[in-house]
């Protein structure tokens, strides 16, 4: 492990004693250290991946890794201090309210960090777990992407890879659940979900919501089609927001969260629209239902229809296998 990690540059190795002393024996009030749980699914592989990848990245919208330690069967990562915590803590806690100007800027910060990962570094970095709890805020509320435990490097010419299923339900693109393929497009989908969270002030899936509003992206798309987008705006803002910016963020959100990966924008295209450098896309009034071709050995190729949102169980935690339906079988010619 030492040989693998020490090939990186920048972060230093800390001793366990140093980190225990600096954090008052890992008291919950001290957030400089990420302590990988001994029972975590991430484990050694993800720990090494996180150190190797993020230690080579340098961007204003990525959390900087300062150091690492693996002693006494502990896996520890030291990051720069982000005094305003994670984005989700501001969007979903009663006593926290992010003003609109901050929200729109956070969306652009997040997009800027993703652009660096996808297009501007020497290799394409697919994060695979973009979500509001992995977006952290510094003292000036500048947003930075963190938690690279699931990230993978791919060549720019390829841009995707097939892996085991990884990510967080509610933020995971539907094609990932079917094929296991992580890509720039699946990261863009996750960005779209976070953009909608910023606009709507709610989580991607809310089983307690009214009928038709359980799945945020589907609900916002319905309002888009009926010309009532602003009804989805976070009510805690009390209409204290720029209406045009709100519409732009919502439309970019559903565009990025398009069920068909081929019809999503690149993160660069999304940035152009957020910056008013390109027109808004013309989307269909109803959210399309995606279809996927899945080879099954010597069997005919099956066309799988995925009911958007129904791929999650109640509570948004587990994949509901019964929602994956074989709608058509096309025999081989």
Q: Catalytic residue positions?
A: 129
Which residues have CB under 8 Å from 323's CB, separation 6+? Answer: 306, 307, 310, 311
In what helix (H) or strand (E) does residue 188 lie, and over which residues does it extend? helix 184-200
Which residues have CB under 8 Å from 3's CB, separation 6+? Answer: none
Q: Which pairs from 290-296 meet CB under 8 Å and 24+ separation?
A: 290/174, 290/175, 290/259, 290/260, 291/327, 292/175, 292/178, 292/179, 294/178, 294/179
Instruction: Check: CB of residue 82 under 8 Å from CB of residue 136.
Output: yes
What does the alpha-carbon distance between residue 19 and residue 25 come to, in Å, rounded to a whole number?
8
Instruction: Check: CB of residue 20 under 8 Å from CB of residue 27.
Output: no
In what helix (H) or strand (E) does residue 144 lie, and over which residues does it extend? strand 143-145
Q: Give SS3 for 229.
A: helix
Instruction: Check: CB of residue 287 under 8 Å from CB of residue 221.
Output: yes
Tracing tokens 């484990």 back to the chain, one arrives at 43
Q: Give alpha helix (H) positions in 216-306.
A: 216-225, 243-256, 267-274
Q: Taking Cα atoms as reference points, which of 130, 198, 200, 209 lies closest to residue 170?
A: 130
Tracing tokens 């994670």 back to the chain, one arrives at 86
């Amino acid at each position: 492990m030492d040989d693998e990690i020490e090939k990186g540059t920048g972060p230093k190795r800390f001793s366990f004693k140093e980190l225990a002393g600096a954090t008052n024996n890992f008291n919950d009030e001290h957030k400089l250290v990420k302590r990988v749980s001994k029972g975590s699914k991430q484990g050694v592989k993800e720990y090494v991946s996180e150190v190797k990848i993020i230690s080579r990245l340098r961007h204003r919208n990525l959390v900087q890794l300062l150091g690492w330690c693996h002693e006494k069967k502990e896996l520890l990562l030291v990051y720069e201090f982000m005094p305003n915590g994670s984005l989700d803590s501001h969007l979903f806690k009663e006593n926290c309210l992010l003003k609109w100007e901050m929200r729109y800027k956070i969306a652009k910060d997040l997009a800027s960090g993703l652009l660096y990962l996808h297009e501007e570094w020497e290799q394409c970095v697919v994060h695979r777990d973009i979500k509001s709890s992995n977006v952290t805020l510094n003292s000036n509320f500048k947003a930075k992407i963190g938690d690279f435990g699931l990230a993978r490097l791919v060549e720019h010419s390829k841009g995707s890879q097939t892996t085991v299923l990884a990510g967080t339900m509610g933020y995971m693109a539907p094609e990932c659940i079917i094929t296991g393929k992580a890509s720039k497009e699946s990261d863009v989908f996750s960005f779209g979900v976070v953009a909608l969270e910023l606009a709507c002030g709610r989580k991607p899936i809310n089983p307690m919501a009214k009928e038709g509003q359980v799945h945020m992206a589907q609900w916002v798309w319905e309002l888009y089609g009926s010309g009532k987008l602003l009804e989805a705006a976070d009510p805690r803002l009390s209409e204290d927001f720029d209406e045009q910016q709100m519409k732009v963020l919502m439309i970019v959100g559903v565009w990025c969260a398009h069920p068909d990966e081929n019809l999503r924008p690149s993160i660069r295209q999304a940035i152009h629209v957020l910056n008013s450098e390109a027109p808004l896309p013309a989307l269909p009034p109803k959210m399309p239902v995606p279809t996927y071709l899945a080879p099954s050995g010597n069997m005919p190729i099956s066309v799988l229809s995925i009911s958007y949102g129904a791929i999650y169980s109640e509570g948004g935690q587990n994949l509901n296998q019964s929602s994956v339906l074989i709608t058509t079988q096309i025999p081989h010619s």
